[in-house]
Structure 1
Amino acid sequence: MGHLDHAAFGWLTPVLSYVMACIGAALGLRCTVRALATTGRSRRNWLLTAASAIGTGIWTMHFVAMLGFRVSGTDIRYDVPLTILSLVVAMVVVSVGVSVVGHSKDRNRALLLGGLTTGLGVASMHYLGMAAVRLHGGVTYDPVLVGLSVLIAVVAATAALWAGLNIKSPLAVTLASLVMGAAVSSMHYTGMFAVKVRVTPSGEVLPGATAMQFIFPLAVGLGSFLFLTCAFVALSPTAGEREASASAQRPVQGTAG
């Protein structure tokens, strides 16, 4: 059996990946709150922003954490198309989950459906990302831990969507995103502890790209996207603020919608 190291850089990758998960979650929840305050095209755009933020945050979390993944006795490479596919899956499935919740009349059913969809999306993103790993040897999984990681993903996603629907204050959104970040991270590491690698040493060159060649630049790019979106969302006025400023400018005519 190859010895697996999940944090080759010490605390750096777990902490950084947790931060990325929290930022994605906070941004996603903030956008969901905005989406529910509007209708029509504006709502759809906010929901898409929410989904891309959560999807990007989860994916970046996974692969930043993967930068610290080492197996003794073999190099590790990543299959580029599969890695990209895992990002697309994360985005698409989270979009479906978020829009189910954003557009549904029956809140409870929407929450269960949306949570299940999003949770399974997070889990499939994780295991697709793992399927992209190339190393000398065979990879097996502990089915109990895999099941547990999927369960954590579904519960975390449902809780996050519930928070998006029911939480309005910035402090509560911050707390919810810290919890969601912790849940996504624990799902990731539960999934990683399910991995067993039987190394077969070989001199052959592995297919795919190294983490630094491919994953690192992509994670940095997506991380920057998250920060820029954060800034945009933080600075754009809410519906309430727009009404307040409109009514402040025209006190004679009463409040403007």
Structure 2
Amino acid sequence: MTATVSNFYYGAVTPVSAYLMACLGAALGLRCTTRSLRRPQRKAGWLALGAVCIGCGIWTMHFIAMIGFSVQGALVGYDPTKTVLSLAVAIAFVAVGVFLVGYRGSSPLNLGIAGTVTGLGVAAMHYLGMAAIHTNGGLRYDTGTVALSVVIAVVAATAALWAAVSVHRLWASLGASLVMGVAVTGMHYTGMAAVSVHLTGQAESSQSSTNLLSFLLVMLAGPLVVLLVAAVIVMFDPDMMLSDDDWDRAAPAPDDSVNVFSDRQPTRPAPPYTSR
């Protein structure tokens, strides 16, 4: 028997919250990659933090959205190992894409490779997270809708990586993160539209929706803490509010003897004394 599936058991709360988390991860990731371009001596660290932020944001978006996933006539549970593994997959694949564009630039070929790898990783995270579901039924997928979700993931990842190396101004990067949030959340709900559940037995009486919600909240705690710490690091970075023009003005002159932050002009040496 095919069960009725809903992705909005709690109404608009879960999709809106999921979207906001996707935007937060994207915004922090963009600011971190901007730091990596402006501070080459710390590039690896900033790129790594950016990849963690984007990966955690996408994964958190997915499982907040999954809180609203319900199957009529069945109770849903998750395998902890596969759930944690899906987080590792998200961060690892995002890191590959971020480091590719961070070190090799945003040429069309490199951006295409990095976007494809990252997009496939995001899709793998989504469907690995779905594979972690335990219920008294089997999950089936519509092939065409799954393919569409993968295409959306690749396009969204490519756009995100382009923005990471091309959009540097604060307000522009915030706007880009809002667009990226739409793309990532859209990919999730497109993938969920492909799902149908065919019940094979009665729900286990030991399960409860409260236990499911508690499990997901515990799993979400770690990535949320990571995003909070990353937000503090970015917010307290002294260069956060600098625009490209500010950085150009603050760049040191070729002659290290001149202090570019001083209003005093360099003095010229006095002409040699000549007697008449």
TM-score normalised by length of structure 1:
0.90
The 8 Å contact of residues 149 and 190 in structure 1, kept in 2 or not, is answered as: yes
Aligned to 2:82: 82
Residue type at the aligned position of 2:228: F
Matches within 5 A, 1:175-190: 175-190=175-190
Distance in 1 between residues matched to 2:227 and 2:221, nearest whole Å = 10
How many positions carry a matched residue from both structures?
251
Aligned to 1:97: 97
Larger Rg: 2
Residue type at the aligned position of 1:49: L
Corresponding position: 1:254 with 2:255:
no
The 8 Å contact of residues 30 and 163 in structure 2, kept in 1 or not, is answered as: yes
Aligned to 2:8: 7
Corresponding position: 1:213 with 2:214:
yes
Compute the displacement of 1:50 (Å): 0.3
Moved more, 116-125 or 106-115: 106-115
The 8 Å contact of residues 136 and 206 in structure 1, kept in 2 or not, is answered as: no
Residue type at the aligned position of 1:15: V
Moved more, 209-218 or 79-88: 209-218
The 8 Å contact of residues 25 and 177 in structure 1, kept in 2 or not, is answered as: yes
The 8 Å contact of residues 137 and 199 in structure 1, kept in 2 or not, is answered as: yes
Compute the displacement of 1:16 (Å): 0.2
Residue type at the aligned position of 1:254: N
Aligned to 1:222: 223
Matches within 5 A, 1:56-75: 56-75=56-75
Aligned to 2:269: none
Corresponding position: 1:113 with 2:113:
yes
Root-mean-square deviation over aligned CA pairs: 2.5
Q: Could you report, residue by residue, the CA deviation over 1:14-61 in whole angstroms, capped at 9, with x for unpaired residues?
A: 000000000000000111111111224x10000000000000000000
Alignment gaps of 5+ in structure 2:
262-276
Distance in 1 between residues matched to 2:28 and 2:171, nearest whole Å = 13
Going from structure 1 to structure 2, the CA distance change for 1:150 and 1:93 (only over 3 Å counts) comes to same
4+ residue segments displaced more than 4 Å: 203-207, 239-247
Distance in 1 between residues matched to 2:248 and 2:170, nearest whole Å = 19
Going from structure 1 to structure 2, the CA distance change for 1:206 and 1:119 (only over 3 Å counts) comes to farther
The 8 Å contact of residues 75 and 203 in structure 2, kept in 1 or not, is answered as: no
The 8 Å contact of residues 243 and 255 in structure 1, kept in 2 or not, is answered as: no
Residue type at the aligned position of 1:3: T
The 8 Å contact of residues 75 and 204 in structure 2, kept in 1 or not, is answered as: no
TM-score normalised by length of structure 2:
0.84
Distance in 2 between residues matched to 1:145 and 1:135, nearest whole Å = 22
Going from structure 1 to structure 2, the CA distance change for 1:246 and 1:172 (only over 3 Å counts) comes to closer
Secondary structure in structure 1 of the residue aligned to 2:238: coil
Secondary structure in structure 2 of the residue aligned to 1:215: helix
| Structure with greater helix share of residues | 1
Alignment gaps of 5+ in structure 1:
none
Compute the displacement of 1:120 (Å): 0.5
Distance in 2 between residues matched to 1:254 and 1:38, nearest whole Å = 20
Compute the displacement of 1:108 (Å): 2.1
Q: Could you report, residue by residue, the CA deviation over 1:117-167 in whole angstroms, capped at 9, with x for unpaired residues?
A: 110110000000000001001110000000000000000010011111111
Distance in 1 between residues matched to 2:177 and 2:19, nearest whole Å = 10
Moved more, 226-235 or 44-53: 226-235
Distance in 2 between residues matched to 1:106 and 1:190, nearest whole Å = 28
Going from structure 1 to structure 2, the CA distance change for 1:218 and 1:111 (only over 3 Å counts) comes to same
Compute the displacement of 1:106 (Å): 6.2
